[in-house]
Amino acid sequence: MTLDEILTGLFPSGHDVKRGAAGTITGTGKRKDGGAITVIGVVDGMALGTAGVLPLAEEVLRVVAKGGKTPKGGKTPILVLVDTEGQLMARRDEMRGLNEYLAHLAKCLLLASEQGHRTIGLEYGKAAAGAFLATALATDRLVALPGAEPTVMDLPSVARITKLPLDTLQQLAKTTPIFAPGLDHLLQVGAVAEIWDPKQPLDDQLEEALRNTSPVDTRDELGAQRKGRIMAAIVAKRVIAEALRRSDDVAST
């Protein structure tokens, strides 16, 4: 689906989402209940650089500062649309500290969530590396449309970093989803909560996703249920329990 088709499907009652100069979008969409949802994103397969990050972060902070109540209570939600080849691989942006810019955007989305604004990522195209982490994966709930191509790091890059042969990683990817890029694998490990059906009304699926969105991170539990990340939830609970036990010990001394 194209961006225009997606926006029309999400907001049949209208929207004012506009493209920016750096492959970004900002605006609002009209929900079924008459309320508004803030829309930001990086689209058209563009790489996300410093020039694109700041307008997105600024829009998120504007929503947080304004607060904004919805007709049914709660604060204005934020939808992040994603179709990007990754962060901009330019020396200028790297020298300016692109990693810090991306971290700033992720923290802005986290702040919005902590302040009661539900955040949903919708990936419909490519998404890779730092740009993927700072947009789609920084939301409370990540959904995708068929044909999306998410990856934190492709296997050739993993091979260069780990010094493992590419053939070995390809074999591991067949049985261990955490080694494999792609929509089905990220669904299995819990990073992607669900894949939407493009044949069904997108506005209905958006409302359902908003109802199911929580600031509580359950991706490790989803990964365990789907047999994609069997140990993550168990280890996390043990670490938390041990930290709480030590805190109690310190408090009692």
Would you give per-residue pLDDT tens digits along the chain (253 residues)?
A: 899 999 999 999 999 999 988 889 999 999 988 889 999 999 988 888 888 899 999 999 999 998 877 667 678 999 999 999 888 777 887 777 888 999 999 999 999 999 999 999 999 988 878 888 899 999 999 999 998 888 877 788 888 888 989 998 888 887 777 767 788 888 888 889 999 999 999 999 999 999 998 888 888 888 888 888 888 889 988 998 998 887 777 666 6
The three-class DSSP label of residue 19 is strand
Q: How far is CA 23 from CA 85, 97, 168, in A?
A: 11, 19, 37
Q: Which helix (H) or strand (E) holds 232?
A: helix 232-252
- The residue type at 130: G
Using alpha carbons, select from 43, 151, 37, 55 the residue that is nearest to residue 104. 55
What residue spans of 22-142 are helical by DSSP H? 50-66, 91-95, 98-114, 129-134
What are the residues whose beta carbons fall under 8 Å from the beta carbon of 176, sequence distance 6 or more?
none
d(CA 63, CA 14): 19
What are the residues whose beta carbons fall under 8 Å from the beta carbon of 39, sequence distance 6 or more?
7, 15, 17, 25, 26, 27, 28, 29, 78, 79, 81
pLDDT in tens, 112-130: 999 999 999 999 988 878 8
Residue 194's beta-bridge partner residues? 143
d(CA 146, CA 192): 12
d(CA 6, CA 219): 25
